[in-house]
Structure 1
Amino acid sequence: MLHHETTPPVEDAHPDRADGERDTVIGNPASRIHPDRDDVHADPWSIDLERIQFSPYFSRLSAVTQVVSPSIGNAPVHNRLTHTLKVSAIARVVALQLNTRAREAGEGDVCNATVVEAAAYAHDLGHPPFGHLGESTLHRLARDELGLADGFEGNAQTYRILTALDVVENAPRGLNLTAAVRAASAKYPWAPSVAAADVERIGPPRGIRRSPDGAYRVHKYSAYDLDLDDLAAAREGVDAEPLRQSIEGAVMDLADDIAYSVHDVDDFYRAGILDHAPIAAEFRGWLDDVLEWRERDDAEVRAELAPGAGLERLRRKMRRDDPWIADDEAFLAAVSDVDAEMVTDLLARPFDGSLTAERRLAAFTDRWIRRFQESARLRPLDTPRAGPVVLSPWAWHHVEVLKFVHKRFVLSRPDLAIQQRGMSRILARSVRALGEWLDDDLDRARTPRRLRELIALAREQYATLPSERRPSDAEAERLARSRGIVDYVASLTDSQAFALSEAISGRADRLWALGQRL
C-alpha cells in the first residue's frame, strides 16, 4: 500500500442529532500521499481543484463525446467539458444549500464545497473516446481480448488518472490530491472484487445488482485492482461506511444526475431530435390508461410495443430496484408534470433559434434545475442503496422520468446506433493493432513512447501490490501490457482515436493527424 500520512480525524460535531443525519469529516489538510511544498501556501482543496482544472486530461474533455460526438460538424450538443462545468456549478450550489440549512438548524457545515467542486470537475476524466459506447467497447476488449479481469470502467479510469496517470511536480505519479478529494471522486467506492458480506450489510448500492441466482454483479466501480489500495487509504479519514460515498462524493453524483436529466433535453430539443409526436403518444398512452397498465402482468408488459409500455416498464423497474423510495402516486405526478411542462409546453413548439425559443428553453432548464437542487437533503442513516445525500422522493421520480425520455427517444435511435457501431470498430481496430505492434520483435521499439511509459507504470504498480494479490512476474508483464494499451487508447479524444485508427491502418492522409500524441 502507498504510504499515507494522516492526523486524527475530526470528531463528529453532532453525534446526537435527532433526525439521524450526521456531519461529515471533510478531509485532512496534510493527507496527501507525498510531501507537497504548496500545502503551506493555500488551503489544500483549492490546490487540488486547480490541479484538476489545469490537467491535460481535463482539457481533452472538450473533444470527447457526451452523447453525440463533438467532432460531428455543427452538432449543437454538450461535450464532456461543458457537461462537467455544469455539473460543478450544480454541485457547488447543492453543497452550499446543505451547509446553509445546517447552520440555520444551529449545526456546523456538513460538507466542503471546494471538495465537492473538485470532485465534480474530476468526475468524467476517465471517459474514453465516443462516450458510453467507447466505455462498453473498451470494457469488452479489456476483459475478453486483453485478459484484464477488472476490464475498463470510466469511473475507475478517473481514479486512475488522478492517482497514477496524470503528473504534478514533487510527486512520482498522479496529482497528489488530498484524501478528501480522492475519496469524493469515487462515485462507486469499491472494486469489482467487492465482498458479498459488505453488500449484504447495506443492500446492493447503485452500481451493484443482484442476479436471479442470488449472486451480486458489479457493473460500476471506481477502482481497478492496481488502484484499490490508494482508494482504501483515501477513505480511512472519511466519515463513510463501507460501500457508501462520502458526502462530497454523493453531492457530485447527485449533481451529475441533475445535469444529465435536464441538459440532454436541452441538447436534443435544440437539435430537432426530440420528435414531439412519438413522445406525446408515449406519455398519453400511459396517462390515459394508468389503472389498466398496473393490472397487466410483467410478461405482457415486457412484450408490449404500444405507446405507454415504456413508461410502465420504467415504473416497474423503479419499484423493483428501489422499493424504499418508489411510489406509484409520485410516479404518476412525475409523468404528469413532465408531460405538461416538457411534452405539451416545450416540445410542441419546435426550436427555431429565435430569442423567444431561447427564452422558453432557458426558463424550462432553470426551473427544473432549481427544483432539483433545492430538493437535495441528507438521507436517514438506515436508507438502503442511496448515498448520504439524496433527492426528495418527488425530485427522484421526476429525474427518472426525464432520463427515460433521453434513453428512449435519443439513445435508441437507429441512426445513432449505426454511428456507434462504427465508433466501436475504430476502438477495436486500434487496441488490436497496438497489441500486434508490441508483439512484433522487429519493430516493438518504434511503438509510441507514451504507450511504453504507461506499460512501465502499470508494471511498477503490479510489482508493489501486496503479496497475496501480486501476480507472477510473467503474468504481471502480460497484465501491464494490457493495462497500458487500455490507458493509452482511453486517453485519446474522439478525433485522435479516429486518426490513430486510420493511420495504423495505412491511411497516408492521416499520418500527421495525431500531432504530439504519439
Structure 2
Amino acid sequence: MDGYTAVDRERWVAEDPAQKRSDRNDFARDRARVLHSAALRRLAATTQVVQPSSDDFVRNRLTHSLEVAQIGREFGAALGCDADVVDTACLAHDIGHPPFGHNGETVLDELAAAIGGFEGNAQTLRVLTRLEAKRSHADGRPAGLNLTRASLDAATKYPWPRGEHPLGGTKFGAYEDDLEVFSWIRSGSPEDVPARRCLEAQVMDWSDDVAYCVHDVEDAIASRRVDPAALRSRDVQQVVAELACDWYVPDLPVEEVRGALVDILATGWVPERHRGSRTDLAALKDMTSRLIGHFVRTVEVATRERYGTGPLSRYAADLVVPRSQVAQAAVLKAVAAHFVMLSDERRTVMEHEREVITSLVERYGADPGEMDPVHREAHELAEDDVAAARAVIDQVASLSDARALAVFSQHRSGGIP
C-alpha cells in the first residue's frame, strides 16, 4: 500500500481507458505532462532573480524549477511520498509566474485589482487546470493538463482563495472563477483544518525555499554581485538580518537571524573570497551541495523524530522544519535580496519592467485582436467584462521576459508582434 487512494488518482476529466493502460502509471503521466508543457518551457526565458540575459551563469525560472524537482524528488521519496507526485509539484510550482518574476507579479496584481488580483500560485492552478492545452471537458471547456487530484493538491502551495489566508497574508491559490476545480482538488483534505497542505506540497515548498536561498546566493557570488568577505562584517550581517525579518520572518528576533548567518559562516562552507577561478567555482559548488544537504537532512531527521520511520504521504504527517533552519534559509534569501534585488542596477531594470507590463495590458485590452489565438478566443467567448479582462491578464502572464520585451519594442516602433 503506497498511501495513495483511487480518489487521489482521479482526474478532473475522465480519459480513454485504452490510453490509460498504455502508460506506466497515473503519477508518472502527470510528471511527463508538466515536463513537456509549453508553459514550463517558457520559464527558460523568465526571470528568477535577475534577467536570464544578464549572465550565462545565473538561474532562470526553468533551471530553478528543475533544481527544485531534483531536491524534492529525493527528499519526498525518503519520507515515503510518491516521487513522481513531488516531482510534478516541484516542476509545476512556478509555471504560472509572469514575465519578470515577482516584479511582474506585483504589477499584474495592481492592474487586475478590480477583477480579483493576480497571484503567481493562483495562476499556476489556472495554467494546470485550464490554460495549458491538453484535455477538454465534454462541453468543450478547456481542462488544462488534466493532472490527478494528488498532483494538483501537491502543487497547491496556498490552499485557500483570495482573502482567506489563515494568518492574514496576501498569498492565495485560486481565483474566484477557478473555485470549482479548486474545491474538487481539496475535497480529500482534512475538514478540521481546511487550509492544511498535504505533505507533498510541504516538501515542494521547502525544496523551493532551499533551492531559492542557496542557489541565489551562489549566483550572486559567481556574478560578483556579492563579495563573500563582506558577509563577515557585523554591519552587513545586521543589515541583512533586519531585511530577513522585515521580508521573511517577522516573528523572529533580528539577533537570532544574524546568529543564523554567523552559524552558516562558521561551518566553513561559504568561501571567504571568489575571483572566478576554476578552484573558486569548485568551492562555490561545494558550498551549494553542503548547504542543500544540510537543509534537507535536518528537516528529514526532525520529521522522522516526530512521525516515526514508516512511509509518510498526503495527510499522514506535516513537515517539521526546525526554527534554526527557518532562520538560516531566511537570512540567505536576504543576502540575495540585499545585494541583488535592492541594488541600484536592479531597481532601474525593475522600473522598465513595470512599464513593459503596464503597456502590454493596456495594448491588449484596447486591441484584443493582437492577442495570441488561444487568449483571443477566451476573450471573444468571455461572458462579461471581468472574464474578458482576465483573458488579457492571462495573455500577458503567459509571456516570457524575452517575448514581453520584444512585443513591447514592436508596439513602440509601430510593428506587429
> Shared topology, TM-score over 0.5?
yes
- Summarize deviations over 1:85-130 as a string: whole Å, max 9, x none: 000011012112212xxxxxxxxxxx22211110001001001111
TM (normalized to structure 2)? 0.87
Please point out which of 97, 108, 123 is paired with 1:138: 108
SS at match of 1:352: coil
Task: Give the distance between the partners of 1:452 and 1:285, measured in 2 at CA.
Answer: 53
1:341 positional shift? 4.7
- Summarize deviations over 1:382-401 as a string: whole Å, max 9, x none: xxxxx921322332221112
- Greater shift, 397-406 or 387-396, is seen at 387-396
Aligned residues: 397
- Summarize deviations over 1:57-108 as a string: whole Å, max 9, x none: 0111111110111133x44210001000000011012112212xxxxxxxxx
The 5-angstrom pairing of residues 239-318 of structure 1 reads 239=190, 241-276=193-228, 278-281=230-233, 284-285=234-235, 308-312=238-242, 314=244
Task: Give the distance between the partners of 1:359 and 1:27, measured in 2 at CA.
Answer: 47
1:28 positional shift? 2.9
Task: Give yes or no for contact 2:99–2:400 (8 Å, CA) kept in 1.
Answer: yes
Task: Give yes or no for contact 2:34–2:91 (8 Å, CA) kept in 1.
Answer: yes
In structure 1, what residue type is equivalent to 2:400? T
SS at match of 1:266: helix
Instruction: Give the equivalent residue in structure 1 for 2:313.
Output: none
1:276 positional shift? 4.0
Instruction: Give the equivalent residue in structure 1 for 2:386.
Output: 479
Q: Mark the structure with the bigger radius of gyration.
A: 1
Task: Give yes or no for contact 1:24–1:238 (8 Å, CA) kept in 2.
Answer: no
SS at match of 2:384: helix
SS at match of 1:403: helix
In structure 2, what residue type is equivalent to 1:80? R
Asked if 1:161 corresponds to 2:112, the answer is: no
Task: Give the distance between the partners of 2:11 and 2:158, measured in 1 at CA.
Answer: 21
Instruction: Give the equivalent residue in structure 2 for 1:452.
Output: 376
C-alpha distance 500-332 of structure 1, shift in aligned 2 (>3 A): closer
SS at match of 1:176: coil
Asked if 1:89 corresponds to 2:59, the answer is: no
Instruction: Give the equivalent residue in structure 2 for 1:348.
Output: 272
The 5-angstrom pairing of residues 38-437 of structure 1 reads 38-41=19-22, 42-72=24-54, 74-99=55-80, 111-143=81-113, 147-148=114-115, 150-169=116-135, 171=137, 172-173=141-142, 174-194=144-164, 199=166, 204=167, 208-209=168-169, 219-239=170-190, 241-276=193-228, 278-281=230-233, 284-285=234-235, 308-312=238-242, 314=244, 320-321=250-251, 326=252, 331=257, 333-341=259-267, 346-354=270-278, 356-377=279-300, 378=303, 388-437=318-367
Task: Give the distance between the partners of 1:363 and 1:263, measured in 2 at CA.
Answer: 12
Task: Give the distance between the partners of 2:372 and 2:100, measured in 1 at CA.
Answer: 22
In structure 2, what residue type is equivalent to 1:125? I
C-alpha distance 327-421 of structure 1, shift in aligned 2 (>3 A): closer
TM (normalized to structure 1)? 0.71
1:285 positional shift? 3.3
1:236 positional shift? 1.1
Task: Give the distance between the partners of 1:256 and 1:452, measured in 2 at CA.
Answer: 33
1:334 positional shift? 1.7
Please point out which of 496, 501, 515 is paired with 2:403: 496
Task: Give yes or no for contact 2:105–2:119 (8 Å, CA) kept in 1.
Answer: yes
- Summarize deviations over 1:218-258 as a string: whole Å, max 9, x none: x1111111112211111112457311111111110010000
C-alpha distance 132-163 of structure 1, shift in aligned 2 (>3 A): same
C-alpha distance 448-180 of structure 1, shift in aligned 2 (>3 A): closer
Task: Give yes or no for contact 2:218–2:284 (8 Å, CA) kept in 1.
Answer: yes
- Over the aligned positions, Cα root-mean-square deviation in angstroms equals 2.8
Task: Give yes or no for contact 1:63–1:80 (8 Å, CA) kept in 2.
Answer: yes
Task: Give yes or no for contact 1:64–1:131 (8 Å, CA) kept in 2.
Answer: yes
- Summarize deviations over 1:385-428 as a string: whole Å, max 9, x none: xx921322332221112112112221110110001100110111
Of structures 1 and 2, the one scoring higher in RCO (CA 8 A, sep 6+) is 2
C-alpha distance 239-53 of structure 1, shift in aligned 2 (>3 A): farther
Instruction: Give the equivalent residue in structure 1 for 2:314.
Output: none
SS at match of 1:28: coil
In structure 1, what residue type is equivalent to 2:264? V
Task: Give yes or no for contact 1:279–1:409 (8 Å, CA) kept in 2.
Answer: no
C-alpha distance 316-128 of structure 1, shift in aligned 2 (>3 A): closer
Give ranges in structure 2 of 5+ residues lacking alignment.
308-316
C-alpha distance 448-60 of structure 1, shift in aligned 2 (>3 A): closer
Task: Give the distance between the partners of 1:447 and 1:50, measured in 2 at CA.
Answer: 28
C-alpha distance 351-454 of structure 1, shift in aligned 2 (>3 A): farther
- Summarize deviations over 1:28-57 as a string: whole Å, max 9, x none: 365112111233333111111111111000
Task: Give the distance between the partners of 2:355 and 2:292, measured in 1 at CA.
Answer: 37
C-alpha distance 44-495 of structure 1, shift in aligned 2 (>3 A): same
In structure 1, what residue type is equivalent to 2:203? V
Task: Give yes or no for contact 2:244–2:257 (8 Å, CA) kept in 1.
Answer: no
C-alpha distance 484-316 of structure 1, shift in aligned 2 (>3 A): closer
SS at match of 2:218: helix
SS at match of 1:71: helix
Task: Give yes or no for contact 1:25–1:238 (8 Å, CA) kept in 2.
Answer: no
Asked if 1:35 corresponds to 2:14, the answer is: yes
Give ranges in structure 1 of 5+ residues lacking alignment.
1-12, 14-22, 100-110, 210-218, 287-306, 382-386, 439-444, 460-475
